[in-house]
Amino acid sequence: MQRILRLLLVLIGCVILQTSVFPHLRILDAVPEVALVASIAVAYRSGPETGAVFGFAVGLSVDLFVHTPAGLMALSCAVTAYIVGILQAGLVRSTPWAAPILAGVFGLFGGFLFVTVGVLVGRDELMNAHSIQMVLLSAAYDVLISPLVFPVARWAAAEPSTPGGMRRW
């Protein structure tokens, strides 16, 4: 229950940052996708199922406030987080560069997934050079925020310790 409350707190923080704060901190018209980065971080910490559920929930919450087809951000976050969760078992965890690399690579993946699915559902205005530029710039911005987002998501997704002090796996 404690873990769910921490994840809910992070979800609310992501939605506030994504919809209220970051739109005012644009760099070359791009904003970071904090919901996507948090989904990647949760999946990296807790695996594909938790990552996908968190990604869907945070993405759907952001979808309520933006002018894109409902569920598009939810789908992008959930699928990206699921893939990160599947791959996380084979990734090195001790490097300090893991968070920025994951945020950059999967920020690109999630952004292009968003654009691709958006075009498939009829948002033809997403099929242009500006969308590609925004995905690239947002992924670069994601790299910059990842050292701040990953520790918070890691804290939220951590399993509670058992009374004997041993972690449950």
Q: Which residue has the higher pLDDT, 25 or 139?
A: 139
Q: Is the pLDDT of residue 167 over 60?
A: no
Token output for 88 = 């996380």
Does the pLDDT value for residue 93 go beyond 70?
no
If one counts every other C-beta atom within 10 angstroms of the C-beta of residue 22, the result is 18
- More confident of the two residues 129 and 167: 129
Neighbours of 144 (CB within 10 A): 14
Q: Where are the domains of the chain?
A: 2-154
Reported pTM: 0.89
CA pair distance 155, 37, nearest whole angstrom: 14
Question: Is 2-154 in CATH node 1.10.1760?
Answer: yes
